[in-house]
Structure 1
Amino acid sequence: MAGHLVLKKADFFASAAQPVAVADRYPQNIFAEHTHDFCELVLVWRGNGLHVLNDRPYRITCGDLFYIRAEDRHSYESVNGLVLHNIIYCPERLKLNVDWNDLLHSARAAGEDPRWRLSSHGMAQARQIIGQLEHESVKTDALSVCLTESLFLQLCILLRRHRYQSQDATGPDSSETLDLLMAALGKSLDSAFELAQFCQRHQVAERHLRQLFRQQTGMSISQYLRQLRICQAQDLLRHSELLIGDIATRCGFEDSNYFSVVFTKETGMTPRMWRQRYTLHLSNC
């Protein structure tokens, strides 16, 4: 897509030799679609927002992890107290004898969700490494450049060890209740989610879990699940020829009229208008 913003490495790195830099977003504001001439890791600490990656919307919140390639197009929309770190890096500047491509870009099937989640335990460890990385990456001496890459390698290994896909309830450290809840919600896009049953199964107080979820994400559990379903509906409307009623069913709405009401409230346009918007855009390209 022509005309989008391209972020340049010269504006972010301490020197032409430094391979990694840390850009904290406290908070992350709305940011128009852009690409980079570098790559980045995006790790969300708190709040929520709409992350649009290569035309696909994702409702993101604490623990979400994205690996962004230089050529990927992405933007941030409708943010709500969204706090994240961008760990940006130049692959051509990495010198350690490591298979970086395998470590950072595991093979994914076409259309597979590129989002990972980082376990609560992994997030706590990542914070410490990122703090060190942020301190060293602004220096330009040879030892700091070397240490920066070493810390980046530690971070990448940590992320690989503690990450899991949002639909996977068997990932590392899945004993954490919030991790289990996120996994359960990720698997409930096309079916009902019973919070009371979840709390009984995992022996956690429902009120406490609701409070914890809102504290970490800035949303209620039902709001988050609804946003996940709307994001999936947006993607299906844009990239499939399914009937709107079938999309409603796939996104957990038994009534297509109710789906249309919710979709319109969340996006500002009806499902039909949303689909036509992109159909017209493609026909004019």
Structure 2
Amino acid sequence: MKNPLLLAKEDYLPSPLMPVAVADRAPQPSFPPHTHEFSEIVLVWRGNGMHVLNDRPWRVTCGDMFYIRDHDCHSYESVNDLVLDNILYCPERFQLAIGWAELLPPDNEQHQSHWRLTTRGMALARGVIQQLALESRKTDLLSIQLTEALFLQLVLILRRHRYAAGQDNRLPDGEQLDLLMSALQSDSGARFDLATFCLHHQLAERSLKQLFRQQTGMTIGHYLRQLQLCRAKYLLRCGDELIGEVAARCGFDDSNYFSVVFTRETGVTPSAWRQRFERAERPAFALKR
């Protein structure tokens, strides 16, 4: 693959002193692989699309959040009314004497990039980002200082209200979409039964389906299938398991049916997908088993 685009600081930040900027994408179009001279936080508000981060595909929708380091490579594909905010930041420009290293992910391959943000957290973050967008467009000293203070407030909100799929998340009562997303993302290889989930959490199945489609632009079944296929793409590219084993890990009992679904969605067979990358250097990071 040819070298990705490099996005420069001077094209996105109004002055050499401004540490933060907000780039709203409403909607976010498809965008080729790129890196930056800055780091960024990505918050997804609505719609859905394929976000590829360091060769790993993620089907993103409302509430998804990513920490992107300056040397990370990512892109957007197959977008559908995808609305998000990019909060760009340059740590070397920070002036507040606080422990940024404790609040932002470290610059190494082991940090967790992908999180979910609760419904309450999204509401709080949206208000701060609106203020941040206004102040970060200015160049006077007071605005620069206020921008960094607002960014600190945003980072603290994200730390308090983010949660990770597959972990013991203590989500607020009544946050139906958060509970559902956490269950769906916990393990796309496990069978998910919506009726059982709704009975356990005392939720109305029909209302939950409507809420999910309204916020994401997808049905629950389609979203779950996309999660399974994203996992399969990554396993085929970065692992050496047999295709039948990949199918089983991604929730398909029949490897032939898996091949049919994979080919229909991607345009190539699982074997052809794997062969695309066999000669390329595999990523240094490996899928956690």
Q: TM-score range by the shorter chain?
A: over 0.9
2:59 aligned residue: 59
Once the two structures are TM-superposed, the CA of residue 150 in structure 1 deviates from its matched residue by 0.1
1:6–1:35 Cα contact (<8 Å) kept: yes
1:25 aligned residue: 25
For residues 52-91 of structure 1, the C-alpha deviation after alignment (integer angstroms, 9 at most, x for no partner) is: 0001101101000000000000000000110000000111
1:87 aligned residue: 87
> Identity of counterpart residues, as a percentage?
59
Please give the residue correspondences for 1:87-236 in structure 2 after superposition, counting only pairs within 5 Å: 87-105=87-105, 110=110, 114-168=113-167, 170-173=169-172, 175-236=174-235
Which stretches of structure 1, 4 residues or more, deviate above 4 A after TM superposition? 106-110
Write the letter of the residue equivalent to 1:100: W
For residues 235-263 of structure 1, the C-alpha deviation after alignment (integer angstroms, 9 at most, x for no partner) is: 00001100000000000000001111111
Please give the residue correspondences for 1:246-265 in structure 2 after superposition, counting only pairs within 5 Å: 246-265=245-264
1:169–1:180 Cα contact (<8 Å) kept: no
Once the two structures are TM-superposed, the CA of residue 212 in structure 1 deviates from its matched residue by 0.4
2:68–2:113 Cα contact (<8 Å) kept: no
Partner of 1:14: helix, strand, or coil?
coil
For residues 123-150 of structure 1, the C-alpha deviation after alignment (integer angstroms, 9 at most, x for no partner) is: 0000000000001000111100000000
Once the two structures are TM-superposed, the CA of residue 108 in structure 1 deviates from its matched residue by 8.1
The runs of 5 or more residues in structure 2 that have no matched partner are: 283-289
Closer, same or farther in 2 for the Cα pair 1:239/1:55, shift >3 Å?
Answer: same
TM-score (norm 2): 0.94
For residues 218-277 of structure 1, the C-alpha deviation after alignment (integer angstroms, 9 at most, x for no partner) is: 100010010001000000000110000000000000000111111111111110000001
RMSD: 1.7
2:285 aligned residue: none
2:171–2:178 Cα contact (<8 Å) kept: no
CA distance in 2, matches of 1:159, 1:108: 20
Once the two structures are TM-superposed, the CA of residue 167 in structure 1 deviates from its matched residue by 2.2
CA distance in 1, matches of 2:264, 2:239: 22
Which deviates more, 57-66 or 100-109?
100-109
Write the letter of the residue equivalent to 1:257: N
CA distance in 1, matches of 2:207, 2:178: 15
TM-score (norm 1): 0.95
2:23–2:85 Cα contact (<8 Å) kept: yes
CA distance in 1, matches of 2:87, 2:48: 19
The runs of 5 or more residues in structure 1 that have no matched partner are: none
2:8 aligned residue: 8
CA distance in 1, matches of 2:221, 2:187: 11
1:38–1:89 Cα contact (<8 Å) kept: yes
Closer, same or farther in 2 for the Cα pair 1:30/1:131, shift >3 Å?
Answer: same
Closer, same or farther in 2 for the Cα pair 1:146/1:172, shift >3 Å?
Answer: farther
1:74 aligned residue: 74
CA distance in 1, matches of 2:16, 2:197: 51
Write the letter of the residue equivalent to 1:138: R
Partner of 1:57: helix, strand, or coil?
strand
CA distance in 2, matches of 1:78, 1:242: 27
Once the two structures are TM-superposed, the CA of residue 187 in structure 1 deviates from its matched residue by 2.2
1:48–1:61 Cα contact (<8 Å) kept: yes
